[in-house]
Amino acid sequence: MTVPGLAGGRHGVQELQPLLETVCAALADGARARAGAVAAGGPEAVAAAVAAAVGEAMPRSGTGEREALYALVRALAAGAADPAEPYCAAHLHCPPLAVSAAADLAASALNPSLDSWDQAPAASELEARVTAALAELVYPDLPAPDALVTTGGTESNQLALLLARERAAGGPRVQIVCGANAHHSVLRGAWLLGLPRPVVLDTPAGLLDPAAVDAALDELPGRPVVVATAGTTDTGAIDPLPGIGRAVARHGAELHVDAAYGGPLLFSSREAVKLDGLQSAVSVSLDLHKLGWQPVAAGLLAVSDRAALRPLAHRADYLNAEDDSEAGLPDLLGRSLRTSRRPDVLKIAVTLRALGREGMAALVDAVCDHAADLAARIGRHPGLTLYAPPVISTVLFRPSDASDEQVAELRRRLMHEGRAVLGRARAGGRLWLKATLLNPYVRPEELDALLQFTAPDTEGTTAP
Ligand SMILES: *Cc1c(COP(=O)(O)O)cnc(C)c1O
């Protein structure tokens, strides 16, 4: 076997290029073998196919670079649930842009690590500029906003709660107040940080009610933190931010908005109005690996004032010695709780530059339009019931006469047959099929076909 080449350095490209051909061939062959939204046959069939392709996960002697790349990339593609397929629309799991995936390859080849300037000189400056631009997108009217790159909404929410806890240091422990519609990471974050159990307010209409927030805050001492959601994972609903902001201000509390899903609506002047009131939050989580067409991970935590990030300051002599900082080497450790850290900002930066804000807005508008279109088709369909008009790009529906068990079974059957991956969500006391539309190029006839798969009178028909 030849020695394995390095991805970077003067000869990196010579090493990479032929391997990329193998990767592309394997991706193409794997997608052809799958021929649809998802690998058919369920967990057993997929496990058997992967076992056959992988064999021994760590053979005594290697099979060589090209063989290994081809075998495993093909197996992964053949056994994928590929969000670029029009009938793969279960989760906030987006089809990444090719340009972003290409940029991510460069990030891997160069491997800058954003825990110290001497590992990431240009990457750290790029991150500073891009996060400044994104912070300004969230807080256009404030003088000193900032944003951190995270692994996603979970880390962003945790960091937001951590910063709130530290602001309250010395006083009573911070009490979180959120809706029953809040993401599970809010509860876990409070648990992880040793905060009191969050007060979870009922959201019978799927939304956090400002009056309920007001009443809850009446009962709580200190400076509670209200967590509102802009784009719930289940329905895409956006809590009424202006009213919640007023209730929070009246009580001298703080607001964090989990806009992991809805945040990128800000790119679109048409859609951004749905986030009015966002600027009253001390911090905002948003994910670009959902409504931003980035490969995972591409999360952000924006803060209204960069002073809020001070509690993250940390020293480690080998990374940010005080004399190095005094001599002008930028200190990166306070930009994350992680140490080694991928330059996830590169793919984001490339995407924002390639598409511009207008290009991002066009994609956002497209998926919102598709959701409105799908909802209209459901409304006209005699056998299907729509939960509610979509707010972002999530559409909940169900065969009108089906029981919850039949809805759950239908979802599993479509997945097992490899025809479609739809999500599930409980809302208004019932179980619904959930289509999370993140493919900006899905066609009207594909939306119709998706509905045909689920409609009661067409059970058993084959995919077009
Ligand atoms: C997806 C999501 C999260 C979690 O984000 P990850 O990127 O998966 O960590 C948090 N909140 C909301 C509202 C989400 O939709």
d(CA 220, CA 423): 37
Sequence-distant (6+) residues with CB within 8 A of 115 are 319, 332, 333, 336, 338, 339, 340, 341
Name the DSSP letter for residue 264: G
pTM over 0.85: yes
| Substitution site in 151, 178, 183, 188 for ligand 1 pocket (most atoms within 8 Å of beta carbon) | 183
Instruction: Convert the pLDDT of each residue in 169-209 to its tens digit.
Output: 988 899 999 999 999 999 999 999 999 999 999 999 999 99
What is the distance between the alpha carbons of residues 155 and 55, in angstroms, rounded to a whole number? 35
Mapped onto helix, strand or coil, the DSSP state of residue 398 is strand
Distance 232 CA to ligand 1 centre (A): 9
Does residue 458 carry a pLDDT above 50? no
Domain formed by 106-353, architecture:
3-Layer(aba) Sandwich (3.40)
Gap from CA of 176 to ligand 1 centroid (Å): 18
pLDDT in tens, 101-156: 999 999 999 999 999 999 999 999 999 999 999 999 999 999 999 999 999 999 99
CB neighbours of 406 closer than 8 A, spacing ≥ 6?
Answer: 399
Atom 7, ligand 1: residue with shortest CA distance? 152
- Which secondary-structure segment (H or E) carries 397? strand 394-399
Segment 386-426, tens digit of pLDDT: 999 999 999 999 999 999 999 999 999 999 999 999 999 99
DSSP 419: S
Q: pLDDT band for position 434 (50/70/90)?
A: very high
* Residue 259 alpha carbon to ligand 1 centre in Å: 8
The pLDDT of residue 128 is 98
Distance in Å, CA 112 to ligand 1 centroid: 26
**Residue in 391, 392, 399, 393 with CA at minimum distance from that of residue 431:** 399
**What pLDDT is recorded for position 1?**
54
With cut-offs at 50, 70 and 90, classify the pLDDT of residue 462. Answer: very low
> 286-337: per-residue pLDDT in tens?
999 999 999 999 999 999 999 999 999 999 999 999 999 999 999 999 999 9
- Locate the ligand 1 atom nearest the alpha carbon of residue 232 and give its number: 13
Task: Please give the distance, rounded to the nearest whole angstrom, from the Cα atom of residue 154 to the centre of ligand 1.
Answer: 6
199-201, strands of its sheet edge to edge: 146-150, 299-303, 283-287, 254-258, 225-229, 176-179, 199-201
Pocket perturbation via mutation, ligand 1, pick of 91, 93, 154, 207 by most ligand atoms within 8 A of CB: 154
* 17 alpha carbon – ligand 1 mean position (Å): 35
Cβ(277)–Cβ(241) below 8 Å: yes
Distance (angstroms) between ligand 1 centre and the Cα of 287 equals 7
Q: How far is CA 305 from CA 143, 145, 147, 236, 426, in A?
A: 8, 4, 9, 28, 37
Q: Which amino acid is at 98?
A: A
Topology (CATH level 3) of domain 356-454: Aspartate Aminotransferase, domain 1 (3.90.1150)
Across the chain, mean pLDDT equals 96
CA–CA distances in Å: residue 169 to residues 74, 164, 223, 426, 457: 52, 9, 11, 38, 61
Token duo for residue 309: 């990030």
> Which CA distances in Å does 135 have to 160, 209, 273, 286, 361?
15, 27, 17, 11, 17
Cα–Cα distance list, 432 to 146, 385, 426 (Å) = 38, 9, 6
Average pLDDT over residues 44-69: 96
Lookup result for tokens 């998926």: 367
Summarize pLDDT for 64-97 with one digit per residue, the tens.
Answer: 999 999 999 999 999 999 999 999 999 999 999 9
Is the pLDDT at 461 greater than 80? The verdict is: no
Ligand 1 atom at shortest distance from the alpha carbon of 152? 7
Instruction: Kindly report the number of other CB atoms within 10 A of residue 184's CB atom.
Output: 10
Residue 96's nearest CA partner among 109, 72, 74, 80 is: 80
- pLDDT over 90 for what percent of the chain? 96
Ligand 1: centre distance to CA 157 (Å): 9
Longest pairwise C-alpha distance within the chain: 74
> From ligand 1's centre to the CA of 298, what distance in Å?
11
> What pLDDT is recorded for position 304?
98
> Which residue, by CA, sits nearest to atom 4 of ligand 1?
153
DSSP structure string for 90-138: SSS-----HHHHHHHHHHHHH---TTSGGG-HHHHHHHHHHHHHHHHHH
Residues with CB under 6 A from ligand 1: 92, 152-154, 183, 185, 229, 231-233, 258, 260-261, 287, 299
pLDDT in the model for residue 207? 97
Closest to 421 in 3D by CA, of 88, 34, 35 = 88
Q: Which atom of ligand 1 is nearest to the CA of 229?
A: 13
For residue 432, how far is its CA from the centre of ligand 1 (angstroms)? Answer: 20
Question: Cβ distance 158 to 192 under 8 Å?
Answer: yes
> For 309, which DSSP code?
G
Separation CA 382–CA 395 (nearest Å) = 17
Report DSSP state, residue 378.
Answer: H
Atom of ligand 1 nearest to the CA of 231: 13
Distance 192 CA to ligand 1 centre (A): 17
Kindly give the residue spans of alpha helices, DSSP state H, lying in 111-234.
Answer: 121-138, 153-167, 184-192, 210-219
Mutate to test the pocket of ligand 1, among 148, 261, 283, 296 (most ligand atoms within 8 A of CB): 261
* Ligand 1, atom 3, residue with closest C-alpha: 153
Residue nearest to atom 10 of ligand 1 (CA): 153
pLDDT of residue 2: 78
User: 153 C-alpha to center of ligand 1: Å?
Assistant: 4
Atom of ligand 1 minimally distant from the CA of 153: 5
- CA distance to 33, 53, 70, 89, 169, per residue, from 74 (Å): 9, 9, 6, 22, 52
The pLDDT score that the predictor gives to residue 460 is 44
Whether a cis peptide bond, with omega within 30° of 0, leads into 316 is no
Dist CA 374 CA 395 (whole Å): 7
Residue 306 CA to residue 136 CA, distance in Å, equals 12
Residue 10 phi, psi (nearest 5): -60, -35
Pocket test for ligand 1, best of 265, 285, 294 (most atoms within 8 A of CB): 285
pLDDT on residue 457: 65
Domain ranges of the chain: 12-80, 106-353, 356-454
* Atom nearest to 233 CA in ligand 1: 15
Cα-to-centroid distance, 291 and ligand 1 (Å): 11
Question: Which ligand 1 atom sits closest to the C-alpha of 183?
Answer: 11
* Contact by Cβ (8 Å): 248, 260: no
